[in-house]
Amino acid sequence: MEKLQINISNHRDSPDITLMVFKGDLDAGMVKRIEREFAKLNALGRILIIADFSRVKFISSPVVGELMGCRERLIEKGGNLILIKLSKDIRQKFELMGANQVFDVSTDEKTAISKLYWENQNKPDEVNLSFTPNLNLVPNIRTFISNIVLQKGYPHKDVFRIETIVDEICNNAIEHGENGENDEIKLKCLIDKFKIDLRVTNKTNDKNVTQLQQLIDNEDKSNPQQDSKRGRGIRLVKMLSSSLKVEISRQGTMVQITKYKEKETHPEGGLNAGTIKS
């Protein structure tokens, strides 16, 4: 049996994450030592941990049990333990024990870090798009954003509503903004487990500034007497969003929307249950 070594360090690119590299055999005699190492980390508030098993050939059942306990204690504090680079033999052992149903396992550090940030830190992913103001592009853009949202596990109802929102705000930006060949529209999307933030910015068409401001003001005052056909888009976006903010000036127009994920009453069977649309 190869003597166990445990190398513990802060991850070089993500120092809030601890990397534990195990080398050697994890036999039953190592349980206490593993418990001590995790307890030390827990006491220091180091609760996001990646355990690298690339140099481990053998793991005993008591050690697997101990790791499950350590993971539970991390989760109680809002952290997690992700295992990476398990050999084929160890993966098979995990399957036999049912441990693969308990642990998060990744192939590499980068994937494990992304999982920890997404699940435990609620760190959003950022997607940015800038494009020439051409109505032709809007269907592709709205489908693109909705495919991302679907991939991230949002329910279909939210996906369609977000697609509708993107369609409206992009159309508005093109129709009411400057749309010369050198102009561009920017769409920033921040998505996390609970919500999506969308921000569209464009150069304002001088002739439309007053008109646009009136539309927003009328909408704020819920004044149905005004030209109701022209305000329907904004009204629709307001109805579908959790919040809407519009800033109009001669320098530019910015529309910012937040949409919280709605809780599914009839779950469709886990994450990523949808199919990417063309």
160 is an interface residue for other proteins by CB under 8 A: no
Which residue stretch of 84-92, 97-105, 127-135, 261-269 sits at the interface with other proteins (rule: CB under 8 A)?
127-135
Which residues lie across from 248 on neighbouring strands? 253
Q: Which of 3, 13, 98, 266 binds other proteins (CB under 8 A)?
A: 13
Instruction: For other proteins, give the closer residue by CB, 136 or 222.
Output: 136
Instruction: For other proteins, give the closer residue by CB, 181 or 206.
Output: 181
b vs e for 188-209, b when ≥16 Cβ sit within 10 Å of the residue's Cβ? ebbbbeebbbbbbbbbbbeebe
User: In angstroms, rounded to a whole number, what is the distance separating the alpha carbons of residues 113 and 115?
Assistant: 5
Token pair, residue 66, equals 């101990």
Under 8 Å CB-to-CB from 55, ≥6 apart: which residues? 21, 22, 23, 24
Q: Which of 127, 157, 175, 268 binds other proteins (CB under 8 A)?
A: 127
Q: Which of 76, 95, 126, 217 binds other proteins (CB under 8 A)?
A: 126
Instruction: For other proteins, give the closer residue by CB, 35 or 184.
Output: 184
Residue 26 backbone dihedrals phi, psi, to 5 degrees: -100, 75
The contact pattern for other proteins, residues 183-222, with x = CB under 8 A and - = no contact, is ----------------------------------------
252 and 186 in contact (C-beta within 8 Å)? no
b vs e for 87-121, b when ≥16 Cβ sit within 10 Å of the residue's Cβ? eeebeebbeeeebbeebbbbeebeebbeebbbebb
Say which DSSP state 177 is in. Answer: B
Residues in 233-262 at the binding interface with other proteins, rule: CB under 8 A = none
Q: Which of 97, 129, 190, 236 binds other proteins (CB under 8 A)?
A: 129
Residues in 259-278 at the binding interface with other proteins, rule: CB under 8 A = 276-278
Which residue stretch of 90-98, 134-142, 170-178, 220-228 sits at the interface with other proteins (rule: CB under 8 A)?
134-142
Q: How far is the CB of 176 from other proteins (least distance, A)?
A: 18
Which residue stretch of 25-33, 53-61, 139-147, 227-235 sits at the interface with other proteins (rule: CB under 8 A)?
139-147
Strands (E), 31-160: 48-59, 80-84, 104-106, 125-131
132 is an interface residue for other proteins by CB under 8 A: yes
Which residue stretch of 40-48, 111-119, 207-215, 257-265 sits at the interface with other proteins (rule: CB under 8 A)?
111-119
Q: Which of 22, 38, 94, 144 binds other proteins (CB under 8 A)?
A: 144
100 is an interface residue for other proteins by CB under 8 A: no
Which run of H or E residues covers position 112? Answer: helix 109-120
* 109 φ/ψ sector (left φ>0, alpha ψ -120 to 50, else beta): alpha
127 and 191 in contact (C-beta within 8 Å)? yes
106 is an interface residue for other proteins by CB under 8 A: no
Q: How many other C-beta atoms are found inside a 10 Å radius of the C-beta of residue 55? A: 14
Binding residues for other proteins (CB under 8 A): 13-14, 110, 113-114, 117, 125-132, 134, 136-137, 139-141, 143-144, 147-148, 151, 181, 276-278
